[in-house]
Chains A and B, each alone.
Chain A
């Protein structure tokens, strides 16, 4: 069973879910550039029906941090 959040990351970063873990971040993941960040924001907002502030967007520099930020917004991930 795949983790929903990892699935979104894999989709937007165009990699296999198995290539990602909680520590994945823009420095250790080649396809995670600023365009990918932008796509991730769009995907989170669409999927979870939330609105992220610029501060929250900038903070999400790893999968685990993204998970924390999303949980704080009441998303079950």
Chain B
């Protein structure tokens, strides 16, 4: 396990470095078995995610219930960002006795409720691994073991009770342990140190927790770009012909079919699927059209670049067409040359080579899929792919008309409204992934957004946009705070999908009127320059703001702008403004 060694070493080197300063992420662990070995792996993973001073504290052996009841006590009273509770059923109850299990689970459930109300960070809860048989049982083939019934009961109950809470995330220990098989257990360690698992399990557990942390704070990848020959199917269509390429239910076609199913699942959860292949376009598409074994259809591919140019150029064009950064692309190819060329000339693209051992390919795709992790898949994600298609229809109209004629034809409807609870997941998602049209680039978790909205001194407006081709959904967020007569913009961001339609002007106009009606005299805004947000450098100026020499933002490097209210922005003629939430269609 070379990787595990490296991760562990990264953590130890960090500890030796002894850098001072506040921690930038603190995790508290509580387990029903020894969790110390997970610390270097989790810590190393957090360093790999870009945290400078992560910290992992352990409440000690079997402190789960205590940790729930007073979340800070076991961790030296330092505030924590996340608490992970990792437990096994056999440590909490007598698993041969279903009543004992029910009692233990009820206690755990109560303790968890308490934790949810006492602690406002994120919570990770393990689903327990299936109990292992440590005693000799005469297997009753007619009846499953009682401990298995108890285990199912415990898992079901916790999932039903806690699955829909945005702050509670699950780590499936059974998945980790069964995935490793014999490599998960070490009976020497168990009998000598009461420690049931091998380093591999601790490494995988560290990775699972780190993935949740990453998904909470970092931007997920957005587009999967696939080569065709020997990546989507076996063989080379230009040489083997449409009928000759391998895809289907027998090896090696079965491997490619499995991979295509995985790709389709990603597409269904909102990932863009693109193709970049050195081929004749009609040859490649003929496989999609004429081979019934293909799982992926032509409609699943949002952009295709089938030509003979360097693939790095394809990557750049795909990014531009989808309006996303190069660093939102994941590229899969069987050819090491192509991988190197893209790495060299399209930096930021995550490159994955099809493994030489073809049977390992689906596992590599599972790993690639992790890069798209999001904690909450919103309806917007699912609709996005459909929406991108209508985006293309819109562009076709655009080519034939002047800009004003085009906009007038769109029948734009803009909805500006204060969010309902069910909008907040999408609001947080937009806050965390928008890079270009984002004046302050302040990231917030779902809990932080919820807290913001609950404060009476704040206002949060969502913007949804629709036109005659379809809905764009919730695409803009403005966060405002009341500082007496003057209100201040705490976040202002918009998806680039709705650029060039005057919707931001509509938004400014509406906010201006709204704040005026509350009696406010001025609106202050800030711009913090990043490598990606040049697009909005002149946003305030375009909307009648003037530079202010004050520095009121806690953030450094913020250029401040101010405008009297209601301000100079007017709703464009071609926009129909609604100050309500759009009706779901």
Contacts and interface: CB of A to CB of B under 8 A. Distances in A.
Contacts of B12: 11
A39 B37 contact: yes
Interface string A47-60: 00000111001100
A52 B195 CA distance: 16
A54 B192 contact: yes
Given A11-B12, A46-B5, A35 B36 contact: yes
B149 interface: no
A69 to B, nearest CB: 14
Nearest to B191: A54
Nearest to A53: B188
Secondary structure dominating the interface of B? helix
The 6 closest A-B pairs by CB, nearest first: A54-B188, A35-B36, A38-B193, A42-B199, A34-B193, A54-B192
Given A35-B34, A42-B199, A57 B188 contact: yes
Contacts of A35: 34, 36-37, 193
Nearest to B1: A46
B467 to A, nearest CB: 60
Q: Which of A38, A53, A57 has the most CB of B within 10 A?
A: A38
Given A54-B188, A54-B192, 13 more contacts: A34-B192, A35-B37, A35-B193, A37-B193, A38-B193, A39-B37, A41-B188, A41-B189, A42-B37, A46-B5, A46-B199, A57-B192, A58-B192
A11 B199 CA distance: 17
A39 B40 CA distance: 11
Contacts of A42: 37, 199
Interface residues of A, number: 15
B29 to A, nearest CB: 14
A51 to B, nearest CB: 9
Q: Which of B12, B188, B199 has the most CB of A within 10 A?
A: B188
Contacts of A14: 15
Interface of A: 11, 14, 34-35, 37-39, 41-42, 46, 52-54, 57-58
Contacts of A46: 1, 5, 199
Interface string B143-172: 000000000000000000000000000000
A41 B188 CA distance: 10
Contact of A38 (B1, B15, B37, B191): B37
B215 to A, nearest CB: 29
Q: Which of B15, B34, B36 has the most CB of A within 10 A?
A: B36
A46 to B, nearest CB: 7
Contacts of A41: 188-189
A53 B192 CA distance: 11
A58 B12 CA distance: 26
Nearest to B2: A46
A42 B189 CA distance: 10
A46 B3 CA distance: 12
A40 to B, nearest CB: 11
B522 to A, nearest CB: 57
19 contacts: A11-B12, A14-B15, A34-B193, A35-B34, A35-B193, A37-B192, A38-B37, A38-B189, A38-B192, A39-B37, A46-B1, A46-B199, A52-B188, A53-B188, A54-B188, A54-B192, A57-B188, A57-B192, A58-B192
Interface string B13-49: 0010000000000000000001011000000000000
Nearest to B34: A35
A14 B14 CA distance: 13
A62 B37 CA distance: 22
A57 B193 CA distance: 11
Contacts of B192: 34, 37-38, 54, 57-58
Nearest to B188: A54
Contacts of B37: 35, 38-39, 42
Interface string B176-197: 0000000000001101110100
Contacts of A11: 12
Contacts of A39: 37
B12 to A, nearest CB: 7
A18 to B, nearest CB: 15
Nearest to B5: A46
Q: Which of A37, A42, A57 has the most CB of B within 10 A?
A: A42
Nearest to B12: A11
A57 B199 CA distance: 17
Contacts of B193: 34-35, 37-38
A37 B12 CA distance: 17
B111 to A, nearest CB: 26
Contacts of A52: 188
Contacts of A53: 188
Nearest to B189: A38
A17 to B, nearest CB: 13
A70 B199 CA distance: 21
Given A11-B12, A57-B188, A38 B195 contact: yes
Contacts of B1: 46
B184 to A, nearest CB: 14
Contacts of B34: 35
A42 B15 CA distance: 20
Contacts of A58: 192
